[in-house]
Amino acid sequence: RLQSLNEAQALVQRLKKPWEKAYQMTWVEPILLFTVKASSEMGLFAALETRPKTPDELAKTTGTDARLIGRFCRILAVNDIIGATDENAYFETELSRAFADPDGLVNGIHHSFDLILPVITKAPAYLREKHYDSPSDGAHPPWRTFMDSPDLWTWFREHPDAHAHFNSFFAILRAGMPPWTSMFPPTKLLKDFDASTMLSVDVGGGKGGDARHLAAAVSSSHPQARIVVQDQPEVIAAARESKDLPSQIELMPYNFFDEQPVKGARCYFLHSICHDWADYEAHQILMRVKEACTPGYSKVLLLETVLPEKVQDTNPRAAAMDINMMLLFGALERTERQWRDLLEGAGLKFVRRWEVEGNAQCLIEAS
């Protein structure tokens, strides 16, 4: 499916003339983004049903102007976000149903307005002032200039609604991806596992989503294997409120720039941690992990994007995320060569990559 989708998208791009591409980028995509946000906030998506409705019917349901409804529905329909009949009545689609859920994908649209759009409007001037030097200072990333805040996480604490949009959107994205245990067989961790040690330490593991996957995979054969989830105190406090946390999982406040308190675990797992940091800071994070490892026993697993060495093989989403990481953190998405260099610089050995179709990320095994 993914190969067919990529080939179809590549064909469409080849068929477009330059002015058509520019028109799409300049007017269609930004206006569509605005329309989806406004339509969500006015209740349009929630008002749609499988039965086609006229703009007058939708206006009555939402308490809004039928003329505005009609104009919004036109652009939504021609972009296949909602369905339309020959009589200009409108009905729901799989995508519009997703946008109707206030806890669902629409949070990605809100996130764009909260964060992405404010940042990219200021980025050109910033790069001009810096003489187009590629940002790579994790201590002073472009973000600090754009948003007048020391870092993204401080800004999120000051803007809880924006943080909620971000968390909800990424939870939906991760829920749609295969679990990391489908890439890396947990049996490789269980082989020669010493039950007196932690099976896994999930560094920066949030509320424990990845740890739950591991717990489910090993609970029948090794019900006493212990898994630690580490994150900032406020994240751990929120995780403690969960009523269904597996008994194998322990929660621990921790800053990954500090000495790792759990020594000699079978595995140290980091999901999308290093891509938030420039090389200097990422090196420091991995050094703390390396110092805690037992040589010949501990494994380091990184669930991260690995950019292809050939540009033409790169997924557009991964290329865009690389720019996003640069603007927010002075960080980057890395190629396999760059990951090898980063790991080796921290005294770790790159062992291999694990991947499955349908997951945008790879699992990097190191020791």
All structural domains of the chain with their residue ranges:
2-100, 106-174, 177-366
pLDDT at residue 360 in the model: 73
Residue 165, H or E segment: helix 160-175
Q: How does residue 329 score in pLDDT terms, banded at 50, 70 and 90? A: very high
Non-local CB neighbours of 118 within 8 Å, separated by 6+ positions: 146, 147
User: Do the beta carbons of residue 184 and residue 361 sit within 8 Å?
Assistant: no
CA distances from 107 to 126, 152, 239 (A): 28, 17, 21
Position 35 confidence tier, pLDDT thresholds 50, 70, 90: very high
Question: In the structure, what pLDDT confidence band is assigned to residue 149 with cuts at 50, 70 and 90?
Answer: confident
Quickly count: other Cβ atoms within 10 Å of residue 95's Cβ: 17
Task: Tell if the pTM clears 0.85, that is, is over it.
Answer: yes
* Residue 331 near residue 347, CB atoms below 8 Å: no
Q: Which residue in 214, 191, 192 sits closest to 269, CA to CA?
A: 214
What's the rounded mean pLDDT across residues 120-127?
94
Quote the DSSP letter at residue 352.
E
> What amino acid is encoded at 258 in this protein?
D
- Report whether CATH 1.10.10.10 matches the domain 2-100: yes
**Residues 87-99: pLDDT tens digits?**
999 999 999 999 9
CA separation, residue 292 to residues 31, 157, 232, 262 (Å): 50, 30, 19, 7
pLDDT per residue as tens digits for the range 233-269: 988 998 999 888 999 999 999 999 999 999 999 999 9
- For residues 214 and 271, what is the distance between their CA atoms, to the nearest angstrom? 13
> Which pLDDT score is estimated for 2?
67
> 177-366 domain in CATH 3.40.50.150?
yes
- pLDDT attached to residue 8: 83
pLDDT at 190 over 70: yes
Residue 32 has pLDDT above 90, yes or no: yes
Sign of CA dihedral 350, 353, 354, 360: positive
* Catalytic center residues: 275
